[in-house]
Amino acid sequence: METIYALSSAQGRAGVAVIRISGRDTAAAVEALTGRRPGAPRMAELRHFRDPADGSPLDQGLLIWFEGPRSFTGEDVAELHLHGGRAVVAGMLAALGGLPGLRVAEPGEFTRRAFENGKLDLTAAEGLADLIDAETSAQRRQALRQMEGALGALYEGWRGRLIRVLAYAEAEIDFPDEEEVPGDLTAELQPEIVTLMSEMRAHLDDGGRGERLREGVEIAIVGPPNVGKSSLLNRLARREAAIVSDEAGTTRDVLEVRLDLGGVPVTLADTAGLREAAGAIEREGVKRALARAEAADLRIVVAGLRPDGGLDGDFGLAREGDLKVINKADLGSCEGVAAIPVSAATGSGLEAFEAALAREVAARFEASEHPVITRSRHREGLKACVEALDRALGALRAGRATELVAEDLRLAARSLGRITGRVDVEDLLDVVFRDFCIGK
């Protein structure tokens, strides 16, 4: 396998740049650049780096040597910690490109080699990608747990139990007359299959919290025109993100703002006022507002207090779990209405509203202490596993041939194995690793 190299730190000017090399020719590359073979593993050494082509100096920096298989990729790996100037990085990459047997790494190739060499499973590799992309503290915590193997351990534990169940069925097929083989297959296998299905269904019934935390929670602000939805958005965003006007129908399209709400990534959407539209453009805005409200993970339903004590709008649109807000609370009393009173104009009540919103988001989507599903392919694999187990259980109860039971158990185990990468995953590898950055 070819030796690969890439800049592993961010592009651009920096104090320190890290270039990583991995493969069988790594030691030879270090010797060509520094005049000496690598020293003790995992010890930082100060080295002078020169261009092997003409001996010209490139930089003075640190070399860290990781001898395979005790490295990230499982191969011989060297990390060159250099000064982060563009000329230094460009010169070193050009020098490495001139060495025989070396080539630039593809995106995610270091991590793919780590997977192929058994250093991590596919769920851990995805956790690493999520950790690199994490924008909030909750995303970081979830990704770190997955990268450290919590999700993979759960799935491999289920798979191990499935394989033991399958072994009973296979034994009855291969050795039907042996005394050691249990005679009543139904009594032996059914309880464990039922338990596995129950655990997997509970894992699936998570409200999509892991996926929502990874991708971002969608919150829509909905209500009639002129109740202060855009003003509320601006207050939450702490900037003038939306145009505010006394003229009804100012907001014609869905306006989005990205926020970090208590560590959870949130996309907050200001929608057009819900009313009988005056023209084609406003009708389209109302249509989009209704669609966005229907698709949102959480909605903030806003009504506005009038000086006479009445309300513009009502909360008939609200559904269970929505936050109800009365804006313009500075105009009068909101007693007797089960909603959070705020004034986007004066700022009154906004602190309590933000706290309530953060609590609601955290309760639904904050990183769990238990491993959670973070990708649709995990969910699809688990559903396929449960469906196969359900068929196996039905075959057992109906007294069908053991071969049919065993085949469904094999399909169930294979569905779990595809999630972690233990079986038949070649077609998945490009999908899993294609979004990694070069150098990782």
Q: Where are the domains of the chain?
A: 3-105, 125-206+373-433, 213-365
For 3-105, CATH number out of 3.40.50.2000, 3.40.50.1000, 3.30.1360.120, 3.90.1150.10 equals 3.30.1360.120
Residue 328 near residue 102 (C-beta atoms within 8 A) = no
Note if the pTM is more than 0.85.
Answer: no
pLDDT tens column, 309-326: 777 777 777 778 788 888
Residue 80 has pLDDT above 70, yes or no: yes
Asked whether the predicted pLDDT for residue 154 surpasses 70, the reply is yes
Q: Which CATH class is domain 125-206+373-433?
A: mainly alpha
pLDDT tens-digit map of 233-284: 888 877 665 444 444 444 445 677 888 888 888 888 877 554 444 445 555 5
What does the pLDDT read at residue 426? 56
- pLDDT-derived band at 169 (thresholds 50, 70, 90) equals confident
Predicted local distance difference test score (pLDDT) of residue 176: 55
For the chain, the average pLDDT equals 84
Q: Rounded to an integer, what distance in angstroms lies between the CA atom of residue 258 and that of residue 190?
A: 49
Choose the weakest-confidence range: 40-54, 139-153, 163-177, 206-220: 163-177
pLDDT in tens, 339-385: 888 888 888 888 888 888 888 888 887 767 789 999 999 999 999 99
More confident residue, 253 or 70: 70
Does 26 score more than 70 pLDDT?
yes
Residue 168 — pLDDT band, cuts 50, 70, 90? confident
Q: How confident is the model at residue 308 (pLDDT cuts 50, 70, 90)?
A: confident
- CATH number of this structure's domain 213-365: 3.40.50.300
pLDDT at 102: 96
What pLDDT shows up at residue 329? 83
Which of 121-130, 181-190, 381-390 is the least confident region? 181-190
